Amino acid sequence: MNKIICLNKEKKGVLALEQLIQILIAIVGIVLVIIIFTKVSSCGDTRELQAKGTLDKMMQVISSLKEGEPQSMVLTSPANWNIICIDESHNENGNFKKPATLFGKNVLCVCRDKDCKLCLQTTLPIKKEDQLINLKIQTGNLTFIKTTDQINVTFKIPNETAN
């Protein structure tokens, strides 16, 4: 009878060890899921911060413009977002829409999708080749030139000769 009790104690010890290993594996799995979730979530936040920084930099350049004098900036991020200008007489540019709070105003936006959320008011419409700017962000050089009735933009990708 003592041998059976000893065997039962050993089985209890083996079961407790197996359960402990299962619990540890579950904890490691949960920690990995949390880490992956925070990494994926922070990527979205980083791109929004980049978009806000790009919009702020463009507005800084635009506000310092003097008529006829070009000002340039390097454009890098967030890749595959769009720079959009919507003038005061429109509420859309292509598939992109300005926020309702900015209807009737000239706005410059950096948009990820069709409902632009990162927009700032501008005094003049911003155009590229006589069209309101609608430019997919990629690494390149943006040059702004102010005229009496608009701001013209050219975009040049490094090692490219045309706009």
Confidence of residue 6 (pLDDT cuts 50, 70, 90): very low
List of residues 6+ apart from 129 with CB closer than 8 A = 163
Confidence of residue 40 (pLDDT cuts 50, 70, 90): low
Residues 128 and 23: their CA atoms lie apart, in Å, by: 60
Output the six-digit token pair for 17.
């060890």
Mean confidence (pLDDT) of the chain: 85
Name the one residue in this structure whose structure tokens are 């791109």.
47
Write out pLDDT tens, residues 51-67.
Answer: 999 999 999 999 999 99
Residues 159 and 163: their CA atoms lie apart, in Å, by: 11
Write out pLDDT tens, residues 121-161.
Answer: 999 999 998 899 999 999 999 999 999 999 999 999 887 55
User: Considering all CA atoms of the chain, what is the largest pairwise distance in Å, rounded to the nearest integer?
Assistant: 103
- Top-confidence residue, 120 or 26: 120
